[in-house]
A and B are shown apart, each in its own frame.
Chain A
Amino acid sequence: MQADSLTFIFLNAFIINNFVLAMFLGLCPFLGVSAKLKTAWNMGLAVIFVMLVSSTCAYAINTLLVRYNLEFLRLICYIAVIASSVQLVEMAIKKLSPALFRMLGIFLPLITTNCAILGLALFQTNREYNFTQCLAFSVGAGAGFTLALMLMAGLREKLELADVPDVTKGAALSLTLAGLLSLAFMGFAGLGGQ
């Protein structure tokens, strides 16, 4: 598989270099919102959507900044654009589909501080992806985030019933679980023939 083919970029962001389990991006929602399967699914959908929008915006802005030699403003522009695009998406969803808006609830505004979104914008700039590659990358990253979140939520729902020592309850146990998941995802490392 070609390193810059769309399938490879998608698979790379989806499972090989999973945003959460291999690159450690978006850990806060990963540990915070993964207690229930249903909310994990909703959060994942919201993140995929915001990733697509902000990736498109970041691509456009980067083209503009490069043309006027203003690359040092990149970070400030990206963060401002992500914050406002989350706000815009929130307003649009509220107007178009109140049902979906109620389903996503508080998770939508919280996405602004998710480092996976800013990370996506920075990585696509560093790797100099073109527009279609950016789209494949953002869908792959979003799907990877959703997959990791749902796997974690499923495991934690089962774990509720398990009897563990008191001191390991809470964050330590969740992190061990995440480590095991990450270990499992390392098995995908050779995929794509590198």
Chain B
Amino acid sequence: MVNDPRLPEPLSWDTFQQGLWKENPVFVMLLGLCPVLAVTNNAMNALAMGLATTFVLICSGVLVSLLRKVIPKQVRIASYIIIIATFVTIVDYAIQAISLDLYKALGAFIQLIVVNCIILGRAEAYASKNTIVNASVNALGMGVGFTFALLCLGGVREVFGSGSLFGFSLFAPSFQPWSIFVLPPGGFFVLAFWLFLFSVIKERRKAAAQLKQEAGNAS
């Protein structure tokens, strides 16, 4: 059966899982790269940034979905941005209240969540067309996918760059950290490495599937 794009799609495992792997915002769609590279010099910052973005994603998804019949089509982008900016302001003040050190480490990048294309993209492409439950589940999936990507980068960069993970040191004191990993070029290199790895995996899978098909045709 062909899915009618005008009807809201039914809630399924796929709604959640989509953002984790198949449409992972960072590794597949290459969206929101600025915070991905800027705050991932250690795993703790990466986790905090991921959680903050997930919170904004879910809240704005719910509100946009709730108001989807009220907001006129012509001013929808402006309305979405105002909604997102409101939640980002809440997160900004919350983090400042919870941990000032974390707030200083993340700096202006908490406020820059506003211009993270993932959130506006989800609001426009998904939340504005689906029910509240679907929108929040999808947003949660995207948020988890984004956090996973941030941790992938933050983990690698912290282990090599400062010899620790989440602040616990892993190696003997004689370990010489490769400080290039916590510096800006390291961010580019580690992301490039992950993308390279994923494209190798994808190629392998494609080749395996092709081989299987050929074997099936032959027999």
Contact = CB atoms under 8 A, between A and B. Distances in A.
A108 interface: no
Contacts of A23: 38, 184
Given A75-B114, A79-B114, A118-B112, A168 B196 contact: yes
B195 interface: yes
Interface string A40-52: 0000000000000
Interface stretch (A2-10, A98-106, A178-186): A178-186
Interface stretch (A25-33, A54-62, A132-140): A25-33
Interface residues of A, number: 38
Interface string B165-187: 00000000000000010011111
A122 B109 CA distance: 10
Interface in A154-194: 166-168, 170-173, 175-176, 178-180, 182-183, 186
B92 A75 contact: yes
B159 interface: no
Contacts of A114: 115
Contact of B89 (A76, A118, A119, A175): A76
Given A75-B85, A113-B117, A122 B108 contact: yes
Contacts of B78: 80, 83
State the majority secondary structure of interface residues on B: helix
B81 A26 contact: no
Interface stretch (B8-16, B29-37, B133-141): B29-37
Given A79-B114, A126-B108, A176 B88 contact: no
Contacts of B31: 28
B195 A172 contact: yes
Given A76-B82, A113-B120, A186-B185, A176 B93 contact: no
Interface in B164-219: 180, 183-189, 191-193, 195-196, 199-200, 203
Contact of B191 (A167, A175, A183): A175
11 contacts: A22-B184, A25-B34, A75-B88, A75-B114, A80-B78, A118-B115, A167-B200, A175-B191, A179-B188, A182-B185, A182-B188
Interface of A: 21-28, 31, 72, 75-76, 79-80, 83, 113-115, 118-119, 122-123, 126, 166-168, 170-173, 175-176, 178-180, 182-183, 186
The 4 closest A-B pairs by CB, nearest first: A179-B188, A175-B192, A24-B38, A172-B195
